[in-house]
């Protein structure tokens, strides 16, 4: 259980991988299971928040959480943007596809003996855009890295105008029930944790969010 209350707060959480079509049969995606984002949504609800979950993967979720299913990064972008002005905080746990195929074939691409070249173009960076547009909302982002974790975390915290960046080693976290995270706060504070169950990580994130609300209201 979360130790601090999020009662009265509206919180938007994103979870899981997005999928980018190549043709009617095939898509590009990543290894994100959605477990971290779903755990955060449940922890925020338990702490009393009104929670909307925009999810690229389908896991069990309690009926008090409003869930919106999305497939592509552009779907997620649209669903997050249209709700942003109405929420108090966004927690972006989703692993959004950075690229999508430039061309989506209407018919199945037939295999041949030649190599297949697919040109990938950039998707919108949802969190970066939220950072540029934010009014009083608290923004929490994730960084999954395989190397240079701290340098990348600090760079993202600043570049995306976040209040808190949760850094995790991609190899220790993707698909697992546990996660080893470090919190980097905008003010320079850093908090490193040992490996915990994703439910416990979710509770720590909600506690940190409640504290961020308290300090922003002073």
> Does residue 156 belong to the site contacting ligand C5P (CB under 6 A)?
yes
Per CB under 6 A, the list member of 92, 100, 134, 198 interacting with ligand C5P is 92
> Does residue 37 belong to the site contacting ligand C5P (CB under 6 A)?
no
On whether 156 is known to bind a ligand per the annotation, the reply is yes
The Cα–Cα gap between 159 and 131 comes to: 8
Per-position DSSP letters for 194-205, written without gaps between them: --EEHHHHHHHH
User: Is 30 marked active-site?
Assistant: yes
> Does residue 126 belong to the site contacting ligand C5P (CB under 6 A)?
yes
Q: From the CB of 166, what's the least distance to ligand C5P, in Å?
A: 8
Candidates 44-52, 64-72, 91-99, 180-188: pick the segment binding ligand C5P (CB under 6 A). 91-99
Per CB under 6 A, the list member of 72, 89, 90, 142 interacting with ligand C5P is 142
SS3 153: helix
Joined together, the tokens standing for residue 112 give: 């041949």
For residue 123, give the nearest of 174, 69, 71, 163 by alpha carbon: 71
Partnered with residue 168 across adjacent β-strands are: 144, 181
The Cα–Cα gap between 205 and 49 comes to: 13
Candidates 19-27, 46-54, 139-147, 190-198: pick the segment binding ligand C5P (CB under 6 A). 139-147
Give catalytic residue positions.
30
């Amino acid at each position: 259980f979360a130790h601090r209350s999020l009662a009265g707060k509206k919180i938007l959480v994103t979870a899981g991988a997005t999928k980018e079509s190549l043709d009617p049969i095939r898509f590009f995606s990543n290894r994100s299971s959605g477990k971290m984002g779903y755990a955060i949504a449940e922890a925020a609800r338990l702490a009393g928040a009104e929670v909307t979950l925009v999810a690229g993967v389908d896991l069990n979720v309690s009926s008090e959480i409003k869930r919106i299913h999305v497939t592509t990064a552009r779907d997620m972008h649209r669903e997050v943007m249209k709700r942003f002005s109405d929420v108090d905080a966004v927690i972006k746990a989703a692993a959004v596809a950075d690229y999508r195929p430039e061309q989506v074939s209407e018919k199945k691409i037939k295999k041949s003996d030649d190599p297949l070249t697919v040109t990938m173009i950039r998707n919108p960076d949802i969190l970066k855009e939220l950072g540029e547009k934010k009014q009083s909302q608290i923004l929490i982002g994730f960084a999954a890295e395989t190397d240079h974790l701290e340098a990348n975390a600090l760079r993202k915290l600043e570049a995306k105008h976040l209040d808190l960046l949760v850094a995790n080693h991609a190899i220790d976290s993707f698909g697992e029930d546990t996660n080893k995270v470090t919190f980097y706060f905008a003010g320079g504070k850093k908090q490193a944790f040992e490996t915990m169950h994703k439910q416990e990580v979710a509770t720590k994130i909600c506690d940190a969010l409640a504290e961020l609300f308290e300090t922003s209201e002073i």
